[in-house]
Amino acid sequence: MIITNVKIYTEEKVFIPGSIRIEEDKIQEILLQKEQRSEKKEETEFVLDGGGNYVIPGLIDLHFHGCKGYDFCDGTIEAIENIAKYEALMGITAICPATMTLPAEELKKILSVAAEFKRRQEKTHIGSDFLGINMEGPFISRKKKGAQDERNIIPCSTQIYRQFQTAAKGLVKLIGVAPEESNAIPFIEEVKKEVKVSLAHTNASYEKAKEAFDHGACHAVHLYNAMSPFSHREPGVVGAVADSPHVMAEIICDGVHVHPAAVRATFQMLGADRIILISDSMRATGMPDGNYTLGGLEVTVSGNHAVLTSDGALAGSVTNLFDCMKTAVKEMGIPLETCIACATINPAKSLGVEKTYGVIAPGRKANLILMDDQLEIQSVIKDGKIIRR
């Protein structure tokens, strides 16, 4: 396949007119406009006229829970498959779904099913590529539990973490902790070479969060949400993230979880290379308003708000990652080129898959989105095949 007449998002994070040649599931060649020659085309090749649209890498969501009525923690092949199908059609062509805070034995079963789905997907290639699992709980704080079920919160345990990893067959890429809780710092020291440790649902002070980062934690779950607040005398987790250059931070740009001014300030404070756009979407994404569940708790959805029915706490989002990226550009004033990187190459680097995903370059996966100047999807290409047009 050759995709012609497009503005290509390059590794330099700029758009350049040109064409893309794809062979099987890989990008074979990038031809800039001045280099294009008619003799490059083989007679048997399919040519897709991009109509002058933008072409960007398929997005990667490394923190979300579900969509279209399904949740990753449903723990079934059917749920994961339907989630992967929806995400791919929305331009999120690689995923790393997140667990909720559930009983450890239940989590092990969910992780085992995920490992089986991964095994099957390597043969079927159905839906978004399953890159790993982001464990948001159960090693978190009751004081900042958010929409997590506090009955299932437990202290950090290396033994339990390794049971999780065994059940998942090594697919756990991120494990969340609240560093102020017992055994958290020794836990970070012990597992940091095996898995990326994130700060999640934590009431840690600046000092305790900085200690965790200094001991090897390298990621922050949905910055500002479910964590100690950022203020001028007590900068909390956000301040510790800012002072720890090796740490990458997730942020939800759905227009609900973080004010646009705070999003802009965060980009100025951390720099674009350290920010990862996530959706944190739950099963109501792509569904009508109504009552749903998240981690065993009832959630009420109205418009783009999802809250716990019991106390009104925010319960994830109902916005997919592509629409979060669009919101960041159109409503928050973040440059398009910056937002694309934060939803493609940055999560790829965090997951250690940047040699395969996240950029448009020869040898990389042919997972692409064509979109117009209003940021509306025109086509999605997955593994070198058009799956939405």
Give the residue numbers annotated as catalytic, written as ranges: 280
Going by C-alpha positions, the residue among 103, 209, 101 that lies closest to residue 146 is 101
How far apart are the C-alpha atoms of 324 and 144, rounded to whole Å? Answer: 24
Three-class HEC string of the chain: CEEEEEEEECCCCCEEEEEEEEECCEEEEEEEHHHCCHHHCCCCCCEEECCCCEEEECEEECCCCEECCEEHHHCCHHHHHHHHHHHHHCCEEEECCEECCCCHHHHHHHHHHHHHHHHHHHHHCCCCEECCEEECCCCCCHHHCCCCCHHHCCCCCHHHHHHHHHHCCCCEEEEEECCCCCCHHHHHHHHCCCCEEEECCECCCHHHHHHHHHCCCCEECCCCCCECCCCCCCCHHHHHHHCCCCCEEEEECCCCCCCHHHHHHHHHHHCHHHEEEECCECCCCCCCCEEEEECCEEEEEECCEEEECCCCCECCECCCHHHHHHHHHHCCCCCHHHHHHHHCHHHHHHHCCCCCCCCCCCCCECCEEEECCCCCEEEEEECCEEEEC
- The residues near 44 (Cβ < 8 Å, ≥ 6 apart) are none
What's the length of the chain?
Answer: 389
**Quick one: tokens of 45?**
């090749």
